[in-house]
């Protein structure tokens, strides 16, 4: 167990971050915030969520498994089919004044089989499709921000039909194979890309796949397997970082750097369910450490906390490991909402806490996902990462809002908090809205609608929602004013899609 002294230090740091955000929220502050001319304004997608034809992935198998996806939705049926609509997507990015597009290159599309990977025989159609995307972005003056692994893995590394066998990152061959994948992609497209993501939300997939059962391989409360996945992802990230650095030798966008390589973390503003209950406060500190800080500590400081207990005195723990330290040039932050932790209810091992992410017992407005709308929480999590001293890119922030009645206010309020954070001295380089398009939202299927643009389920035609114009104006002017926010309707009740 973690010592009380250790958690006292973590709690003190969390309190400082929370107080900083609370003070900012109470202070009326400036009437506007501004962003520099070179700020990255963009949107994000992920291959499996917007492409078709990825049945040879673990998720491709998962969606064909009865009962795993809401409404039986399938990314091959009624989805955006992005690689067949490259011109349309680049056009809507351009029309929205965006200069950056975050997307992923799917490993299994490029190498459909293990034999193809081992022989380095990339699929010609896949290469041609991604070449076309890069060419279209280049012609439009839009910077690519490329993710190497966004939840999915090739079925020759991860097969949810055999859940009791080691899968994905549990397999010893995955880390070296991922290193090779990263090196090949960086060598192939380094002339197009300077901004890279190694792994998207590395702790989300093992928690969903081995604890909640909603992601492949669909296991419940297999805590030790989930933790081992997290450990292996740290090693995979470090190997991928080094591989990209070695292979990408071209400055694609003329900023003087050949590559910016970072991890993308899903950060939540973690709060005690009962703020006056000391056990809940300590539970929140433990959850905050595991969810928000453990991975970053490993890849920035090289601190390997093997038993996830908040200190480095275990037999396998390592401090400032040179094989891990300084392996993130920037921090990619995905922020959506808050979560609460309690010492009661279904208490999970390791964190000794029960966790609630939706339907929080607060008076904040809610999204269609039942998540709290909490713009000030963005300042909380940004203060938590201030001590790392790295540039920051908001790689995802968005709202499930099928009626598009809350999205404009959500975006502007979060951008305002981001501007305040910049003015406080944080080096924030960009903001990517999730998502460019309505897409396949994993186990929830097509119902949660995050897109700035709708997608017609029959024709795949794109159409801008009214909120897209609000975001486009912020990107064009490089500023957000309180008057703009105040002119918008207050948050309304969620409208749940069918």
Closest alpha carbon to 434 in 461, 463, 411: 411
Residue reference for tokens 């091959």: 76
Angle at which helices 407-423 and 376-385 pack, to 10 degrees? 40
Q: Tell me, what's the pLDDT at 13?
A: 45
pLDDT in tens, 355-391: 999 999 999 999 999 999 999 999 999 999 999 999 9
Please state, rounded to an integer, the average pLDDT across all residues of the chain: 94
What does DSSP assign to residue 315?
Answer: T
CA distances from 330 to 210, 253, 317 (A): 29, 17, 24
Q: Measuring CA to CA, which residue among 229, 215, 190 is closest to residue 48?
A: 215
pLDDT tens digit string along 177-232? Answer: 999 999 999 999 999 999 999 999 999 999 999 999 999 999 999 999 999 999 99
In the chain, domain spans? 4-487
Over the stretch 310-358, which tens digit does the pLDDT of each residue have?
Answer: 999 999 999 999 999 999 999 999 999 999 999 999 999 999 999 999 9
pTM of the model: 0.94
Class of domain 4-487: alpha beta
Q: Is 446 within 8 Å of 457 (Cβ atoms)? A: yes
Distance between CA atoms of residues 158 and 163, nearest Å: 9
pLDDT at site 6: 42
Look up residue 149 and give its two tokens: 């692994």
What was the pLDDT predicted at 89?
A: 98
Cα(284)–Cα(351) distance, rounded to whole angstroms? 9
Q: pLDDT above 70 covers what percent of the chain?
A: 94
How many Cβ atoms sit within 10 Å of the Cβ of residue 77?
12
Rounded to a whole number of angstroms, the distance between the first and last alpha carbons of the chain is 46
CB 393 within 8 A of CB 430: yes
State how far the Cα of 105 lies from the Cα of 85, in Å rounded to an integer: 16
Q: Which residue, 376, 309, 315, is CA-closest to 25? A: 376
Q: What is the mean pLDDT of residues 223-243?
A: 98
Beta strands in 150-276 (DSSP E): 195-200, 260-272
Statement: residue 23 has pLDDT above 60: no
Distance of alpha carbon 281 from alpha carbon 340, whole angstroms: 10
């Amino acid at each position: 167990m973690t010592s009380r002294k250790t958690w006292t230090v973590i709690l003190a740091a969390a309190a400082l971050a929370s107080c900083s955000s609370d003070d900012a929220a109470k202070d009326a502050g400036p009437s506007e915030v501004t962003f520099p001319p070179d700020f990255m304004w963009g949107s994000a997608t992920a291959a499996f969520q917007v492409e078709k034809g990825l049945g040879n992935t673990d998720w491709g198998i998962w969606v064909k498994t009865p009962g795993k996806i809401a409404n039986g939705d399938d990314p091959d049926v009624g989805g955006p089919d992005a690689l067949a609509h490259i011109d349309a997507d680049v056009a809507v990015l351009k029309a929205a004044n965006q200069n950056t597009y975050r997307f992923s290159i799917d490993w299994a599309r490029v190498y459909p089989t293990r034999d193809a990977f081992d022989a380095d025989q990339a699929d010609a159609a896949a290469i041609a499709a991604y070449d076309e995307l890069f060419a279209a972005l280049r012609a439009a003056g839009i910077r690519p921000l490329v993710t190497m692994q966004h939840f999915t893995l090739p079925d020759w590394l991860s097969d949810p039909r055999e859940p009791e066998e080691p899968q994905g990152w549990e397999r010893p061959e995955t880390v070296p194979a991922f290193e090779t994948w990263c090196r090949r992609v960086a060598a192939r497209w380094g002339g197009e890309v300077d901004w890279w993501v190694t792994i998207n939300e590395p702790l989300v997939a093992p928690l969903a796949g081995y604890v909640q059962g909603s992601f492949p391989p669909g296991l419940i409360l297999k805590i030790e397997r989930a933790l081992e996945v997290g450990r292996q992802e740290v090693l995979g990230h470090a190997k991928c970082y080094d591989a990209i650095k070695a292979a990408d030798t071209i400055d694609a966008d003329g900023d003087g750097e050949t590559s910016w390589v970072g991890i993308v973390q899903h950060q939540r503003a973690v709060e005690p369910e009962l703020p006056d209950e000391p056990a809940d406060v300590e539970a929140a500190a433990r959850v905050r450490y595991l969810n928000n800080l453990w991975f970053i500590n490993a890849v920035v400081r090289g601190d390997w906390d093997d038993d996830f207990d908040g200190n480095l005195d275990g037999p396998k723990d390592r401090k400032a490991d040179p094989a891990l330290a300084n392996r993130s040039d920037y921090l990619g932050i995905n922020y959506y909402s808050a979560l609460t932790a309690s010492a009661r209810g279904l208490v999970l091992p390791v964190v000794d806490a029960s966790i609630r992410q939706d339907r929080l017992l607060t008076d904040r407005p809610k999204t269609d996902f039942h998540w709290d709308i909490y713009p000030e929480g963005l300042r909380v999590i940004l203060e938590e990462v201030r001590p790392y001293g790295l540039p920051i890119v908001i790689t995802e922030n968005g709202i499930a809002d099928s009626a598009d009645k809350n999205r404009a206010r959500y975006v502007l309020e979060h951008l305002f908090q981001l501007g305040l954070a910049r003015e406080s001295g944080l080096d924030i380089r960009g903001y990517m809205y999730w998502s460019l398009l309505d897409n396949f939202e994993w186990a929830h299927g097509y119902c949660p609608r995050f897109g700035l643009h709708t997608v017609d389920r029959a024709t795949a035609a794109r159409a801008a929602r009214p909120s897209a114009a609000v975001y486009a104006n912020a990107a064009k002017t490089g500023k957000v004013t309180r008057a703009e926010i105040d002119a918008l309707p207050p948050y309304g009740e969620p409208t749940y899609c069918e």
